[in-house]
Structure 1
Amino acid sequence: MTGADERTTVRNPVVDRRVRGEALEGGAAGLDVAALLARTGGNVAAPVRESQGGARSMDAGGHGAALPDETGPAASPRDADALAAAVTAVANRFTATPLDPDADFFDAGGTSLAAVEFVAALARELDIHLDLDTVFFDARPRRLAQRWLADHPKAASPQRNPETEPVTDDLAQLFTDLTGADRLPLVAAPDRVAPRRILLTGATGFLGSHLLLDLLRHSQAHVVCLVRADDDQDAVRRLEDAVRRFALPWSREILRRVTPLAGDLRLPRLGLTEDQWKTLAAEVDSIVNAGAAVDFLRGYPSLRRTNVLGPLTLAELACTDRPKPLHHISSLAVFNGTDAATLNEDDPTAHVAALPIGYDRSKWAAEAVLRRAGEHGLVVTILRPGGIGSHPETGAHNPRDLNAGITAALLRFRTAPGFRYLNAAPVDWVSRVTAEIVGTPSAWGHTYHLTGAPTSLDQVVAETTLGGMGIRVQHWEQWCDDVVRAIREEPVPELESLAQVLQSPVARRQLAAMVTAPPASAARTEAFVTANGLPAPTASGAARGRMLAAMASFGPQPGDEPYLRFDETLTGTVGPVGSDADIPCDLRLTLSVASGAQVLAARTLDVTGELACARLHDEPLTVEGTATVRPHDGIPLRHEVRHPLMHYRLTLRDSSGGEWWLEGYKFAAARRRFVRQLGTQVIEIGRAGEPASYRGEVAVPMHTYLPDQIDGIRIDPRLPERQQRLAKLLWLSWFGGQLGKGLMEPILRVGIDLLDLRRAARKEHRR
């Protein structure tokens, strides 16, 4: 935006704040972020709005709160309370619900992109210049005011000394939070029986939505879902929206076994009334906590209510009325900063002071709280995923997860940070194993790593090369700089949130810990998976292709060099349908693959070129379409004994816009001339929207095979030479294997038919 349009619009208090917050998180304002980030650095644009006299905004109670005149900076010196009130008034324009000076901006529904706008507004209206890391660390308006006054003592009122109100020490706050577990009562062990009524938090999240469906599929339990919502009807709507967002099914049958309950994990007693709390404590017999604030920019003070006090409240619920087991989704982040050679399930976690960011510390503190709760008799199961990957079938993924962002950058820019190991598993496997543990009483009370086998950097390079996405490996600092630059230069709005994270020194510390992480061991999980007949967290080639194809929006873009291409010449004759006339027909085609995901997912190649047929048109026609390898998995067409090897669907156009269609098959049959079958194509041609008017046969001349389809294979020149050679070898192996399989299918079918005839003859002979 430029000129007058660059002015930021003030939110109308009557507009639904949650809708605005969700729009920001979804990237609707992504194109404005670069400008907003620039504004936070000093030079500020026009005032946020015109006003007559003093501007006013809504305070926490919904009343007008006076702000300094927006024609210039606020006058100094400043009183801490007055400044906190002014910061609160500005913050309330960017949150989903009103907040007071001691409430967290993000807990009130503020988003990462809204925080950028908030910082810009503080600089523009109050002349308070805060960096984003300060806001993310502790986003309570009073603390922001105190921090600014501590850094600018000359601006403070003489009667108020900012040093008497010290900035929050997150470690001191963390250890204070741990003492909350000491107030839990002593309880007896719960009954070791499969749960019949489960309380699930975080069901609107990526893992939580999948976990909800797995709990329903693999148990008879009824599930109560705690959902942050205005009321229970709103909770139903938000839960349905979340489930559908991740390509999961939703039906009345699901709702019959699910009770969405409006509440809030951040609030005392989950924001429930006394009666609701007592009823919930009496009715549920198992608690599963998949709720968490996952934000690598926010500090511990900003995350503690959700990630630490929330689990503590659930522990209190588990101790109320009859004892209940508590299953807590933690994270391998509790090991970040450790110098251990491997991460075993029963190993001590990292020293809390070594954890690089607030998110890691909040997950560490939650585990510490629950360990203390276990000393009071509570049965606690800790489940630690690493990276939670996309669903291998649907491709559903969490677009705001750092691992998903790195994968998206890999697919879009074909570059990855140099790391030792990736400890990750697809979401469907993490969810399935979690649901099985929840429903298996003998598995309770232990720690499980839900990671599968660690993946090395060499494995990732090999798999992406096989998938047609050869990558460059860079030092993580250089990778951060290059990815941010690429996102901003193109631009790529859907990756704007990743750029914001990678610009933060705090988040970079998290990335540094990730790339040096040792491999995780999951011996207990592997034993449980084997004992219960669960699948391993591996994706087949086809499933991996579908996953990559589903994320293709980050992959090769229009105008990019194809991953692989080669030429094919076909020459022969066609004639009018019902006629014996032979009309020469030649095709000169180029077959290409944009990425390996294209062939893994659908065995499809892109086709371009031209067709020359004087009877059809005086000039050559341009060709565009697709060719499918082993269509229908080689099953014969109806009333056919030949098995399809390849299926061409092409559109033909002349220079004036006239259009034809061409459909052709290469078939395999039980005969000796294998090579001839590979190159011969039976074709039909017709005018667009009309039946076929020409039929014939074209074939690849034998002398063109080697120069065109083997020596003539061209690989994306951006790939290193070694990866180009490997890509060519892998393509020939795959393509040759597919065609070889297709040639064998009719022979095998004949063999089966002969066996059937022999069996029938024996049966007849016995009669």
Structure 2
Amino acid sequence: MTSQDDVTTARNPTVDRRARGESIDSGAAGMDVAALLARVGVHSGEPLGGADHPDAAVPRRTDSAEAIEYSRDTMDAVGPRRTDSAEAIEHSRDTTDTAAPRRTDVAAAIGHSTDITEAAASGHIGGNEAVGPSADTARTAGPGRIGGAEAVGLAVGPSGTADPSRLGETEADEQSDTSDAAWRTTSSPNVHVRAADVDEVAEEIAALADRFAASAVGVDTDFFDAGGTSIAAVEFVAALARELDIHLDLDTVFFDARPRRLAQRWLAEKADGSVALLEPVESSAESPAPADTDDLALLFADLAGADRLPVVAAPESVVPRRILLTGATGFLGSHLLLDLLRHSDAHVVCLVRADDDAAAAHRLEHALRGYALPWSREILRRVTPLAGDLRRPRLGLTAARWDTLAAEIDAIVNAGAAVDFLRGYPSLRGTNVHGPLTLAELACATRSKPLHHISSLAVFNGSTATTLAEDAPTANVAALPIGYDRSKWAAEALLRRAGEHGVTVTVLRPGGIGGHPETGAHNPRDLNTGITAALLRFRTVPGFRYLNAAPVDWVSRVAAQIVLTPDAWGQTYHLTGPPTSLDQIMAETTLGGMGVRVQDWARWCADVVRAIEDEAITELEPLAQVLRSPVARRQLTAMVDTPPATATRTEAFAAAHGLPAPSSAGPARARMLAALAAVAPAGDHPYLRFHETLSGTVTRTGESVSFPCELRLTLSVANSAQVFAARTLDVTGELTCPALHDEPLRVDGTATVRPHEGIPLPDELRHPIMRYQLTLRDPAGGTWWWTGHKFAAARRRFVRQLGTQVIELGRVGEPGSYTGEVAVPMHTYLPDQIDGIEIDPRLPERQRRLAKMLWLSWFGGQLGKSLMEPMLRVGIDLLDLRRALRKEHRR
């Protein structure tokens, strides 16, 4: 796997392009929209398109809340021009292109990109008119027809030269097709890139990206929306450098992963040597760099989409009977679907990204089963899988199907979101911002419907508040560290505007969503899960203040109840349990013998990334990708400083409806740690281990001759969760038995303490104490299976029962051919299994003593319980017999 450093070797090491592209000038933080427009060269009193624009005759609105107009025919805004990027004016999502771009050699295309043209000076670009330079004003050129596509012209200063702080370019939206523009400007004031070149390079990039994504990638398709993963992005970047000689850093891809945009960035950099699209021009000592308002301008343009919503009346206050649910294939969404079905009679329509409804049903079933949730005909009877796409206008549905859906449903629940801390706002907005806007349109269509939106506590990241209350103001948008946080903030802001139009919006904000305390199901790509897995593996934790989290079953149950309770609609709820402090985590891990040490945040990141790379731990590679990214680490830094969240309204609602409190941290976390135990193998230093020697005889089935048999085993556990949650020990060692082979056989497998909770096997009166499931391998490659049970019965030889295995073994794939019994010699029990317990030497002495004490108390308690169960059963049987005799006597 190619590292990010390898990919970016040829780039200027002093330029942090991703950090520059995402930075927000602190002076712009408190500006209103009108001031923001002025910063990027658009005066609040002039039309965006200039005198030649079709909308020029329409009076400009100056109210800051409505400074950016949306077209009613598109999902995207005709927004303000960005200071240094191509995202000022968006194409309509329905734009189609009839001219197919030519495919050509990428090297030749890059060569074309260095051509310099003076077309802007004449006001004609590619044979089409554009707004020319003005010597009197720094007025922004409006959208002209450039090669048949709308684009933003050059902004010029008083001298008639191009003003780099106000340059713009064309951008196609995520759902639009290729533009046939002949020329496009770049972020360099003296460089123009031929649109034909951009199209050609974009085609090459799209063809390469197609190999690493789950579905087809077009030139205007976001790589991640097409199913690309963070790991696939690393491979994609390496392939671009290796096969196409296109060198883009990983953060550039995460910021906006559409092939056309990547081509524009690369061609612009090749053209002027240092400047990339979407990035501010390098400042000089005399001229400071302009503030980067790219994300903000685009974000506020998106917010204005709510202004075109109609004003509607409040929805009918009744329990919904037909619910539209998005995100049902996600971790929370799948649990929420089941809770809506369990606790109501509603029918649920699940919007699933798929080619057709049959594929949507298959994907939904696969998702539910993957999270250990049931799937049956009864569930399918009450669920309608609907193939669609949250990112597209009308959810990708036909007009007729959109109208039918609007008429049939009476509530909308939006659990769909693109959750990726590495992607920039431009890459996430289609799902996380445009999607909620489309659902708000659906809530207004035909008849008013309530909209329940799953947001996130991430809207507070960067906030200086001491507590995060449900009605507290969210963070300043300029302080939000990453694109994901901004997209969730924008969605809430947009829906607040929708609320001003009469849409009833309920905002549900989870924090970290933990694994299911019963099934152990968890989200393997969740950041909290990754940090927990790193904790298990490396036994270090960054110094944080609080974790605001709750298990998925509780989050889902409360959310479902709010959706089904009309009196609860229209409020904001924090779906998080009591905050967990660092001291609580340390206490739990110390009791569990984990020996976790606290590290400085920066040191922890560096050590974890280095360890993942050195040990090639593929399971933790997604976490490494986040920790390698300076931009994504901003979000993690915000998490470290997160204050505690309060949930006063949620707690009152849960109490009023008899909902249980979130599962205590101990059991829920133990289940999840057990599920993650495979990520932390025992290695040379398991958490705990001891030895066990057994000897006895085995007899071939149908024969009377016995053969001696001896085992020398080592039983170990990788972490405390493996014991307390799964009650399973790892077994290794060797077996000597001349009946099987002249040489010792290698042994590995597991031993389970009190299997089936000690319930007797069918047709058995003895209670199982332990079950050994072992695999034996002889030097010649032969494989055997071994099943052994330690049983407890109502008799006095208690110690003997604890050390004796009743065994059966045979060749793999064949029935058992030997039976027998082996036992622990009494003189080895104390030195091996008590005095001989070995605790991980990396733990401090105090924690090693505590770990040994906890193990002996837990294991001794399990064995004692096993020995008492047969006695209790005999007592119960005697009482039942006595009752039966009395009853018979009375007759």
Matched letter for residue 206 of structure 2 = N
Superposition map of 1:180-329 within 5 A: 180-329=305-454
Inter-CA distance 403–690: structure 2 relative to 1 (3 Å threshold): closer
Tell me which residue corresponds to 2:730: 606
SS in 2 for 1:64: coil
C-alpha displacement of 1:711: 2.1
Tell me which residue corresponds to 2:255: 137
Superposition map of 1:728-767 within 5 A: 728-767=852-891
Superposition map of 1:424-435 within 5 A: 424-435=549-560
Superposition map of 1:460-609 within 5 A: 460-464=585-589, 469-538=594-663, 547-556=672-681, 559-570=683-694, 587-609=711-733
Tell me which residue corresponds to 2:474: 349
Say whether residues 1:64 and 2:102 are aligned partners. Answer: yes
Inter-CA distance 150–695: structure 2 relative to 1 (3 Å threshold): closer
C-alpha displacement of 1:741: 1.0
SS in 1 for 2:354: coil
Deviates more, 1:314-323 or 1:678-687: 678-687
Taking the aligned partners of 2:841 and 2:418, their CA distance within structure 1 comes to 43
Superposition map of 1:334-345 within 5 A: 334-345=459-470
Tell me which residue corresponds to 2:576: 451
Taking the aligned partners of 1:151 and 1:320, their CA distance within structure 2 comes to 46
* Contact 1:666 1:680 (8 Å CA) reproduced: yes
Taking the aligned partners of 2:686 and 2:746, their CA distance within structure 1 comes to 19
TM-score, with structure 2 as normaliser: 0.71
C-alpha displacement of 1:312: 1.9
Inter-CA distance 591–375: structure 2 relative to 1 (3 Å threshold): same
Tell me which residue corresponds to 1:42: 10
Inter-CA distance 145–615: structure 2 relative to 1 (3 Å threshold): closer
Tell me how large the CA RMSD over aligned residues is.
Answer: 4.1
* Contact 1:149 1:155 (8 Å CA) reproduced: no
Where is the helix percentage greater, Structure 1 or Structure 2?
1
Taking the aligned partners of 1:659 and 1:366, their CA distance within structure 2 comes to 58
Deviates more, 1:334-343 or 1:112-121: 112-121
SS in 2 for 1:69: helix
Q: Map Cα deviations across residues 338-394 of structure 1 (whole Å, 9 max, x no partner).
A: 232322222222222221111111111211121222233221111111122333444
* Contact 1:336 1:517 (8 Å CA) reproduced: yes
C-alpha displacement of 1:630: 2.2
Taking the aligned partners of 1:88 and 1:620, their CA distance within structure 2 comes to 62
Inter-CA distance 339–726: structure 2 relative to 1 (3 Å threshold): farther
Inter-CA distance 648–288: structure 2 relative to 1 (3 Å threshold): closer
Matched letter for residue 360 of structure 2 = A
Inter-CA distance 342–764: structure 2 relative to 1 (3 Å threshold): same
Tell me which residue corresponds to 1:719: 843
C-alpha displacement of 1:650: 5.1
Taking the aligned partners of 1:693 and 1:105, their CA distance within structure 2 comes to 58
* Contact 1:575 1:696 (8 Å CA) reproduced: no
SS in 2 for 1:452: coil
* Contact 2:333 2:416 (8 Å CA) reproduced: yes
Say whether residues 1:380 and 2:505 are aligned partners. Answer: yes
* Contact 1:293 1:307 (8 Å CA) reproduced: yes
C-alpha displacement of 1:100: 5.9
SS in 2 for 1:566: strand
Inter-CA distance 705–482: structure 2 relative to 1 (3 Å threshold): same
Taking the aligned partners of 2:404 and 2:705, their CA distance within structure 1 comes to 85
Taking the aligned partners of 1:721 and 1:489, their CA distance within structure 2 comes to 28
SS in 2 for 1:361: helix
Which of 71, 79, 89 matches 2:203? Answer: 89
Tell me which residue corresponds to 2:753: 629
SS in 2 for 1:605: strand
Which of 802, 805, 828 matches 1:678? Answer: 802
* Contact 2:522 2:672 (8 Å CA) reproduced: no
Taking the aligned partners of 2:98 and 2:11, their CA distance within structure 1 comes to 29
Taking the aligned partners of 1:106 and 1:414, their CA distance within structure 2 comes to 32
* Contact 2:110 2:267 (8 Å CA) reproduced: no
Matched letter for residue 328 of structure 1 = H
Taking the aligned partners of 2:787 and 2:247, their CA distance within structure 1 comes to 65
Deviates more, 1:594-603 or 1:580-589: 580-589
Matched letter for residue 102 of structure 2 = G
* Contact 1:90 1:118 (8 Å CA) reproduced: no
Inter-CA distance 176–607: structure 2 relative to 1 (3 Å threshold): closer
* Contact 1:88 1:100 (8 Å CA) reproduced: yes
Taking the aligned partners of 1:570 and 1:128, their CA distance within structure 2 comes to 64
SS in 2 for 1:410: helix
Taking the aligned partners of 2:253 and 2:638, their CA distance within structure 1 comes to 22
Matched letter for residue 282 of structure 1 = A
* Contact 1:40 1:120 (8 Å CA) reproduced: no
Taking the aligned partners of 1:231 and 1:685, their CA distance within structure 2 comes to 51
Between the aligned residues of both structures, percent identity stands at 72
Matched letter for residue 420 of structure 1 = R
C-alpha displacement of 1:328: 0.1
SS in 2 for 1:734: helix
Taking the aligned partners of 2:539 and 2:780, their CA distance within structure 1 comes to 40
Which of 521, 527, 541 matches 1:402? Answer: 527
* Contact 2:406 2:447 (8 Å CA) reproduced: yes
Deviates more, 1:728-737 or 1:537-546: 537-546
Taking the aligned partners of 2:867 and 2:371, their CA distance within structure 1 comes to 40
Inter-CA distance 236–758: structure 2 relative to 1 (3 Å threshold): closer
Inter-CA distance 453–642: structure 2 relative to 1 (3 Å threshold): same
C-alpha displacement of 1:544: 5.6
Inter-CA distance 758–208: structure 2 relative to 1 (3 Å threshold): same
Tell me which residue corresponds to 2:483: 358
* Contact 1:76 1:156 (8 Å CA) reproduced: no
Taking the aligned partners of 1:219 and 1:677, their CA distance within structure 2 comes to 51
* Contact 1:543 1:601 (8 Å CA) reproduced: no
* Contact 2:593 2:847 (8 Å CA) reproduced: no
Say whether residues 1:79 and 2:192 are aligned partners. Answer: yes
TM-score, with structure 1 as normaliser: 0.81
Taking the aligned partners of 1:260 and 1:638, their CA distance within structure 2 comes to 42
Taking the aligned partners of 2:665 and 2:387, their CA distance within structure 1 comes to 40
Matched letter for residue 639 of structure 2 = M
Stretches of structure 1 that go unaligned for 5 or more consecutive residues are 1-30, 45-58
Deviates more, 1:327-336 or 1:314-323: 314-323
Q: Map Cα deviations across residues 186-222 of structure 1 (whole Å, 9 max, x no partner).
A: 2222111111111112223232233223323332222
Deviates more, 1:63-72 or 1:296-305: 63-72
Matched letter for residue 101 of structure 2 = H
Inter-CA distance 113–535: structure 2 relative to 1 (3 Å threshold): same
Aligned pair count reads 714
Q: Map Cα deviations across residues 464-500 of structure 1 (whole Å, 9 max, x no partner).
A: 5666654443222222222222222222334333322
* Contact 2:804 2:821 (8 Å CA) reproduced: no
Inter-CA distance 279–740: structure 2 relative to 1 (3 Å threshold): same
Say whether residues 1:707 and 2:831 are aligned partners. Answer: yes
Taking the aligned partners of 1:632 and 1:109, their CA distance within structure 2 comes to 41
Taking the aligned partners of 1:570 and 1:69, their CA distance within structure 2 comes to 71
* Contact 2:677 2:719 (8 Å CA) reproduced: no
Deviates more, 1:189-198 or 1:672-681: 672-681
Deviates more, 1:134-143 or 1:439-448: 134-143
Inter-CA distance 310–612: structure 2 relative to 1 (3 Å threshold): closer
Tell me which residue corresponds to 2:769: 645
Matched letter for residue 88 of structure 1 = A
Taking the aligned partners of 2:256 and 2:784, their CA distance within structure 1 comes to 65
Superposition map of 1:117-132 within 5 A: 130-132=248-250
Taking the aligned partners of 1:326 and 1:700, their CA distance within structure 2 comes to 69
Tell me which residue corresponds to 1:419: 544
